[in-house]
């Protein structure tokens, strides 16, 4: 109605001003044009079809390559030009699309420089590179007999509506596209796993699909959500420790290149979130990026920092959108595989039916030909003068012999008989003709059997594809669950924290004031004041936190091992309390009162103990009135660790003169239980995986790998472990390590037992010859083993390591075991051993690293009457 009023108003304006022109509203046009354009981009450019898994440009490229296919390579420029007969866009878009197909290494056999998905290098110009279809593409993508055709954009040629692809091509290649108001991101999957899933579907079994990338790397697909909208996966580079000062990146995450990865590492280094000395790119056929570390930088912590602050970890959000019946639909990858597999079965059925029809036609004509020649019906036409007479004569001559035929004879059949040459008739061999017809009958029976058992035929088809093309297409991306990396724990401390206790300022810009610790710009700071108030705030250049600061440190969230010991006076003249507590998490910039909350409360003693240490202090009272006991000792270990809001235990109701530290304390925490989660290859204290034992601060882990390298490390939760690790356990220094190994130089087997002399050194305990290899290793006190030889005439032997050789140094070669080739070594039950029992002191159940304590004496007070105490 409003539009009509506007149109009427426009007419009145035109009449008033005598304007000859008319005003046309284009709102409707824009609506139509936008929808038309959006539909075109979605259907014809950006989103793949569900039937064959191709976008239109990809479909046209492959169709053109089939047109040109003669088994030899064609210049890509020539293929691009040929494709332009079908594709309405320019050569650049066609060439780029063709390179993308080629780099997926499935459908196009490439020759020349096609670029590098690892380094991001572009392909050479299309006039310099060549291509042809792979054998796999010729087998599964094309069949003109089962292809539906349509006119090309200019009506001059025919192009396929969909290619008859008999394979889940969309899931194998993946697809990514941005349309108007719509996008799609389908991740690539493993070739062999797709075939296995198709076979499971045909057998009625369940299956699971997870992505696989040509760039390799490690992926956490626990939240893949079948590739649907809302899912998310995390991919990481494969990083290992070359030595104590060098990390090596051998595989990169999907969606990155070596260039972009190195750039992200350099940016993180500039920001100070990680610290590296040098980065070196040795990538050729395989990725090799060397990250050199400065002295004193932890390799394990740097690996975590690379995941947290660089492109070494990359989140990917899949969005599975495809075109089905000229409409975009959102479905999961499992449903795509089911539809693709069912379509493959239907296409195989069509091909078998076409083949059956062709075979039956061959059998029909071969039978007619035999009847025609064997019964000399061709003589019946010798006296016929008209064509109609000839046809009738042959027809009449055939009638007595055609009862076994499967269909009626047509005029076309008779015409074909008249076309048989005299030469063929004269040399006709009845036995050969009979054999040919029998062979056709066998083939017909075989095809009918396939049709009757279509699912089994389809399963065999997929198995044949795997056998023929599956070699070399094994999974490249390792699947693993990732642990969450806390950025504040792995960030490089790239700046320094200072404090002005009197004025109450903390920050990184107070360089003339007291230095506290190294920190980063994402850290938090915990502050304790003399009035008993605690505050946590973010690191900044300069922040006011209140005067009379007694303790400040970089805050570690969820830290249960740091314990604070405190003695305070309640109010101006109230009793004195002591308490022990930890701080695991608070609201930032909120002040927490750690005292009983009465005005005038003051902290008399404070210490921060990273491992739950409990010191002993001496309390001195003022000699006032009838107070008899003026001095005594208090051991904080007698006090339980409670929450920060607890009031504490009373020390004395009288005025405390001063508090002195009598002796440093030891940790009151139980040895920490540590588990190893094999799924994520990480240590944890959460009970996940295999329990390694209870660890005190001085305890270490024993690690042995398949290369014959042994080392001990402190059980830090950030420790990374190599994939070839074969022993991981709590290290017991007095426990010997026993091994059997093959020496590559002497070509003999040796046995040795040794202790670790230097816990801080990584050492090789087999010989350095490249052919030397570890057979077996044991950490039992008295191990036994069965040695099985390769020669059948040599009986297996049992080896008692303890009797065979004494414990020697790690560099000792050991004693020769045998010169015969060993097939395998089996560990047997060890001999009994009773280690000495060590009684342990009972300690606190709470979990927990330099003790920082402050005691405040009343002699530092302004006056005794006001009860106020000032810091030094």
The residues that are catalytic are: 128
Spatial CA neighbour of 775 closest among 820, 824, 728? 824
Residue 661, both tokens: 């530290």
The CA distances from residue 430 to 317, 375, 379, 537, 669, in Å, are 69, 11, 18, 102, 100
Q: What is the secondary structure of 158-212 as a DSSP string?
A: EEEEE----S-HHHHH-EEEE-SS-EEEE--B-HHHHHHHHHHHHTT------B-
Distance between CA atoms of 342 and 338, rounded to whole angstroms? Answer: 6
CA distance 250 to 477: 12
**Sign (positive/negative) of CA torsion 330, 336, 338, 340?**
positive
- Structural tokens at position 739: 């091994």
How many angstroms from the chain centroid is the CA of residue 196?
21
- Cα of 18 vs its chain's centroid, Å: 72
State both tokens at 673. 């239980």
Provide the 10 A C-beta neighbour count for residue 432: 10
Bridge-based pairing state of the strands 602-609 and 656-667: unpaired
Contact between residue 363 and residue 355 where contact means Cβ atoms under 8 Å apart: no
Q: Which two tokens stand for residue 161?
A: 């509506």
Question: Dmax of the chain from CA atoms?
Answer: 157
Q: Are 221 and 359 in contact (CB under 8 A)?
A: no
Closest CA to 207 of 344, 326, 338: 338
Per the listing, tokens 């045909």 go with 202
Give 420: exposed, middle or buried? Use CB within 10 Å, 0-12, 13-18, 19+. middle
Instruction: Measure Cα distances from 624 to 604, 628, 629 in Å.
Output: 19, 9, 11
3-state SS, residue 748:
strand
Instruction: Tell how strand 748-754 and strand 807-808 pair up.
Output: parallel
Residue from 776, 790, 797 nearest 821 by CA: 790
Tell me the Cα Rg of the chain: 42
CB-based contact 212:222 (threshold 8 Å):
no
CA 551/CA 610 separation, integer angstroms: 13
Q: In this structure, what DSSP letter does residue 136 have? A: H
> If you count them, how many residues does the chain have?
872
How many C-beta atoms lie closer than 10 Å to residue 611's C-beta? 19
The H or E element spanning position 15 is helix 2-17
Q: How many helices (H) and strands (E) does the chain have?
A: 18, 49
Q: What is the DSSP string of 23-36?
A: ----HHHHHHHHHH
Distance CA 848, CA 149 (A): 73
Q: Which two tokens stand for residue 469?
A: 């093309």
Question: Closest Cα partner for 126 from 95, 170, 157?
Answer: 95
The alpha helices in 592-721, defined as continuous H runs, are: none
Is there a contact between 651 and 619 (Cβ–Cβ < 8 Å)? yes
**Which H or E run contains 431?**
helix 430-452
């Amino acid at each position: 109605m409003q539009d009509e009023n506007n149109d009427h108003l426009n007419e009145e304006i035109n009449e008033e001003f005598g304007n000859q022109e008319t005003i046309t509203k284009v709102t409707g046009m824009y609506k139509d044009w936008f929808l038309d354009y959006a539909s075109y981009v979605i259907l014809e450019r950006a989103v793949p079809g569900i039937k064959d898994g191709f976008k239109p440009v990809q479909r046209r490229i492959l169709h053109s390559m089939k047109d040109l296919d003669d088994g030899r390579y064609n210049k890509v420029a020539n293929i691009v030009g040929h494709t332009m007969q079908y594709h309405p866009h320019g050569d650049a878009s066609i060439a780029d699309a063709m390179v993308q197909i080629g780099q997926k290494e499935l459908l196009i056999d490439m020759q020349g420089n096609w670029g590098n998905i690892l380094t991001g290098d572009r392909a050479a110009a299309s006039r310099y590179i060549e291509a042809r279809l792979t054998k796999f593409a010729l087998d599964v993508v094309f069949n003109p007999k089962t292809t539906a055709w349509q006119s090309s954009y200019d009506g001059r040629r025919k192009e396929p509506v969909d290619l008859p692809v008999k394979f889940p091509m969309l899931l194998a290649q993946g697809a990514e596209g941005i349309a108007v108001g719509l996008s799609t991101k389908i991740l690539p999957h493993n070739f062999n796993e797709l075939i296995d899933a198709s076979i499971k579907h045909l057998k009625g079994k369940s299956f699971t699909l997870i992505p696989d990338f040509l760039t390799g790397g490690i992926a956490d697909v626990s939240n893949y959500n079948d590739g649907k909208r809302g899912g998310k996966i995390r991919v990481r580079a494969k990083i290992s420790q070359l030595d104590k000062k060098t990390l090596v990146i051998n595989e990169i995450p999907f969606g990155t290149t070596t260039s972009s990865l190195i750039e992200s590492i350099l940016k993180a280094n500039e920001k100070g979130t990680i610290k590296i000395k040098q980065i070196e790119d040795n990538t050729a056929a395989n990725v090799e990026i060397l990250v050199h570390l400065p002295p004193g930088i932890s390799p394990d912590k740097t690996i975590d920092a690379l995941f947290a602050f660089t492109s070494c970890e990359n989140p990917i959000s899949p969005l599975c959108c495809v075109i089905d019946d000229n409409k975009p639909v959102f479905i999961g990858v499992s449903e795509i595989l089911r539809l693709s597999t069912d379509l493959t079965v239907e296409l195989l059925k069509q091909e078998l039916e076409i083949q059956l029809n062709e075979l039956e036609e061959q059998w029909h004509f071969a039978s007619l030909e035999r009847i025609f020649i064997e019964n000399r019906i061709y003589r019946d036409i010798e006296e016929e003068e008209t064509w109609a007479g000839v046809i009738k004569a042959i027809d009449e001559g055939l009638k007595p012999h055609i009862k076994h035929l499967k269909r009626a004879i047509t005029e076309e059949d008779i015409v074909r008989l008249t076309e048989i040459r005299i030469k063929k008739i004269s040399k006709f061999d009845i036995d050969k003709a009979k054999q040919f017809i029998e062979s056709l009958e066998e083939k017909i029976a075989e095809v009918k059997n396939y049709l009757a058992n279509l699912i089994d035929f389809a399963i065999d088809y997929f198995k044949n594809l795997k056998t023929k093309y599956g070699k070399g297409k094994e999974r490249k991306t390792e699947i693993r669950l990732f642990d969450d990396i806390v950025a504040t724990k792995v960030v490089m401390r790239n700046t320094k924290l200072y404090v002005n206790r009197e004025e109450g300022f903390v920050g990184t810009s107070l360089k003339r004031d007291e230095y506290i610790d190294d920190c980063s710009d994402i850290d938090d700071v915990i502050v304790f004041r003399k009035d008993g108030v605690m505050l946590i705030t973010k690191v900044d250049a300069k922040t006011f936190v209140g005067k009379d600061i007694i303790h400040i440190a970089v805050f570690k969230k969820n830290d249960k091992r740091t314990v604070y010991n405190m003695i305070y006076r309640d109010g101006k003249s109230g009793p004195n309390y002591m308490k022990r507590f930890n701080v695991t998490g608070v609201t930032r910039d909120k002040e927490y009162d750690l005292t009983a909350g009465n005005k005038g409360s003051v902290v008399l003693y404070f210490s921060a103990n990273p491992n739950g240490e409990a010191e002993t202090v001496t309390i001195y009272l003022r000699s006032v009135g009838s107070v008899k006991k003026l001095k005594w000792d208090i051991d904080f270990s007698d006090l339980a660790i409670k929450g920060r809001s607890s009031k504490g235990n009373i020390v004395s109701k009288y005025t405390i003169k001063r508090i002195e530290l009598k002796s440093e304390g030891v940790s009151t925490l139980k040895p920490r239980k540590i588990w190893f989660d094999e799924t994520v290859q990480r240590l944890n204290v959460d009970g996940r995986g295999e329990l390694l034992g209870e660890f005190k601060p001085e305890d270490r882990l024993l690690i042995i790998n398949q290369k014959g390298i042994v080392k001990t490390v402190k059980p830090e939760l950030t420790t990374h472990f190599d994939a070839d690790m074969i022993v991981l356990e709590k290290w017991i220094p007095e426990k010997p390590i026993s091994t059997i190994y093959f020496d590559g130089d002497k070509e003999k087997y040796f046995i040795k037992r040794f202790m670790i002399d230097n816990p801080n050194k990584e050492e090789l305990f087999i010989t350095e010859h490249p052919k030397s290899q570890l057979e077996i290793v044991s950490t039992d006190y008295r191990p036994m083993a069965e040695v099985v030889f390769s020669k059948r005439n040599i009986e297996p032997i049992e080896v008692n390591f303890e009797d065979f050789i004494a414990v020697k140094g790690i560099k000792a070669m050991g004693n020769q075991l045998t010169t015969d080739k060993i097939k395998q070594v089996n560990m047997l039950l060890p001999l009994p051993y009773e280690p000495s029992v060590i009684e342990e002191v009972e300690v606190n159940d709470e979990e927990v690293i330099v003790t920082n304590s402050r005691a405040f004496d009343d002699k530092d007070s302004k006056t005794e009457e006001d009860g106020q105490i000032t810091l030094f």
